Amino acid sequence: MELYKDDFEQAYGAKAPKTDKYHEAFDKFEAFGSDEQVTRTVTALLEKHAAGNFTPEVLKRIHGFIDLTSLTAMDTKETIWRMVESVNDYEGTRPDVANVAAICVYPVFVETVKQALRADGVRVAAVCGGFPASQTFTEIKVAETAMAVMEGAEEVDTVMNLGYFLEENYEDLSDELAEIKESCREDRMKVILETGALATAENIRKAAILALYSGADFIKTSTGKGYPGATPEAAYVMCRVLRQYHELTGKKVGLKVSGGIRTAEEAVKYYTIVKEVLGDEWLTADLFRVGASGLVGDIEKRLS
């Protein structure tokens, strides 16, 4: 529980008033101006670089960054098994194209994925912590995460408590994420900011900072449930925060974009933003993911 709780004090001074340590952290990161300025910057970046990245080689790389996802009320063991078999069947068919990075499901299907998965190097991920609203007791979030890990999850995608964020209750928000991180044990924790609900660049910036100092291994845009999904503007702001966090701490934390990314063209936009803001060193499955269900089919069709 205490694993990440004091990271703010360690970074910005243990003598800072407890209620101010989060604002001290915010002040260490640059602001990005108005939402309109961010949009103009991102539009110019994509106009300059995205077309040049729409190549077969880039599509091959993106295929290996995908978290193949099924998160519907209609999921069954049979449908999840079939999804895993599609990943198994792809193994070795294109030696020049990496298989997907992970398969992401509800916790109750982690065991099914573990039983069915035969493809090498594909990780098992689960959404945990009262997904997608995060509106349940911290104890339940921690228990659900621990149970998913016990069943075999290697990565956990959990939603930041936006109620705490809107109340500026940063203490409880950060403590809760730290507890969930501890229950992940050695597994990766991806913190979902729900950028479509946060809406503004400034809110996204603050939420990303809180997630980073609460133990996130990845920061993730969206659940894809109930709010707009990923946008280039949100990804750009998150990348800028990740870059400065690395400059301040030496730590590299990953980015996951998700929610409505269905085509190769859309995926290439996010690849371009990561490449231009964070650099080629972030273009690995350990530091960049795309959560999607239909993107795999579109990329494979383009590469056929």
Supply the residues annotated as catalytic. 157, 220, 256
**CB neighbour list of residue 110: distance below 8 Å, 6 or more residues apart:** 124, 126, 148, 151, 152, 153
Which residue type sits at 141?
K
Distance of CA 53 to the CA centre of its chain: 22
DSSP one-letter code for 71:
-
Neighbours of 137 (CB within 10 A): 10
Q: Which of 44, 21, 26 is nearest to 241 (CA)?
A: 26
Distance of CA 25 to the CA centre of its chain: 21
d(CA 150, CA 142): 12
Q: What is the chain's percent helix, strand, coil content, to nearest 5?
A: 55, 10, 35
Two tokens, residue 86: 């599609």
Distances (CA, A) of 178 to 21, 142, 279: 16, 10, 28
Contact 45, 272 (CB under 8 A): yes
Distance of CA 52 to the CA centre of its chain: 25
Q: At what angle do helices 232-249 and 35-53 cross, to 10 degrees?
A: 90
Distance of CA 299 to the CA centre of its chain: 20
